[in-house]
Amino acid sequence: MNGMASDHNSSSQDEYLPHYLQKEDPFASKLSREADIVAGFYLTVIGILSTLGNGYVIFMSSKRKKKLRPAEIMTVNLAVCDLGISVVGKPFSIISFFSHRWVFGWMGCRWYGWAGFFFGCGSLITMTAVSLDRYLKICHLSYGTWLKRHHAFVCLAIIWAYATFWATVPFAGVGNYAPEPFGTSCTLDWWLAQASVAGQAFVLSILFFCLLFPTTVIVFSYVKIILKVKSSTKEVAHYDTRIQNSHVLEMKLTKVAMLICAGFLIAWIPYAVVSVWSAFGQPNSVPIQFSVVPTLLAKSAAMYNPIIYQVIDCKFACCRSGGLKTQRRKSSLNKSR
């Protein structure tokens, strides 16, 4: 009886065919030509803005690279990841949308999937490191006395090694990269979870180590920061001007990090939900026209960060100039007295 049951389970798993094996041409677009053209223009605009914005952030940071604080080094690394997504990945999908099919074959599909996952994972782990840095800096003040630039570079090496490991694991035979259901883009093969227990273990490992765990650390860090800031705002008001200015700078960096993380998660969570449903829900239950929207939203995440940098920098510059004017007035008044 047990043997019959196991045979039945294996046969039911063998009967399942992912969408890219159900048809002769898995790279043909399942969308209308008009929809592909709209998506192509959308990604072109996103790619140009992301490339210019992140390139500008990296260029401006390189001009003061010896003065960058550890938290700023992390944000530069985030810009590098976003620029990598825009330069390495987006041209493949833009050309395919305008061509109304994926034109780069299986090798190009796997390369595109690897690059997207590599830079996306690098972005999320970088933001996790930034949130931990902000948490320890704000909630445990003694941490800031020993954190140096070389610690930040060690952290960067760990981030890149982490992203490389998880992006390359699918090539070791435990996973794969495959075309999206709409045909003109590629991603992790979430549909392996429908086929075998090993596929389920692979997908669950990716979800935990590359999404749930980092997101939990980010949320925990910023919740603790918000609670700490509420309790310590009145205390800072009694300190001298130099300590107040240092506190303002730390809060500026914290606001940047919080907004970046929020933008990233808002862009990627819908895609993660659709991917999990594709992996563990009913096969082919996600409509193809619906699956393309979270994918396009996730691809726009790399555009938000330079905008956040500029908005926060402008507000900080205005506040700083106002504070300097007030200090100058006080100093001139003291001198006249």
Which CATH number goes with the domain that contains 105? Answer: 1.20.1070.10
Q: How many CB atoms lie within 10 A of CB 7?
A: 10
Predicted confidence at residue 69, as pLDDT, reads 82
Predicted confidence at residue 247, as pLDDT, reads 57
CA 270-273-277 angle, to 5 degrees, is 140
Q: How many CB atoms lie within 10 A of CB 57?
A: 21
Given a contact cutoff of 8 angstroms between Cβ atoms, the answer to whether 74 and 131 are in contact is no
- Specify if 1 maps to a domain: no
Number of domains the chain is built from: 1
- Specify if 125 maps to a domain: yes
User: Could you say which residues of the chain have pLDDT below 70?
Assistant: 1-16, 23, 143-147, 232-251, 253, 283, 309-337
Q: How many CB atoms lie within 10 A of CB 328?
A: 10
- Specify if 329 maps to a domain: no
- Specify if 174 maps to a domain: yes
Burial 213-225 (b: 16+ CB within 10 A, else e): ebbebbeebbebb
Predicted confidence at residue 91, as pLDDT, reads 93
- Specify if 15 maps to a domain: no
Predicted confidence at residue 264, as pLDDT, reads 83
Distance CA 228, CA 4 (A): 60
> What are φ and ψ of residue 69, in 5° steps?
-80, 160
| DSSP code string of 33-47 | HHHHHHHHHHHHHHH
- Specify if 328 maps to a domain: no
68 by DSSP, 3-state: which? coil
- Specify if 107 maps to a domain: yes
- Specify if 127 maps to a domain: yes
Domain extent, residue 187, equals 33-319
Predicted confidence at residue 12, as pLDDT, reads 42
> Would you give the DSSP letter of residue 174?
T
Q: How many CB atoms lie within 10 A of CB 230?
A: 9
How many Å separate Cα 29 from the centre of its chain? 27
> What are φ and ψ of residue 162, in 5° steps?
-60, -50
β-pairing, 177-179 vs 186-188, is antiparallel
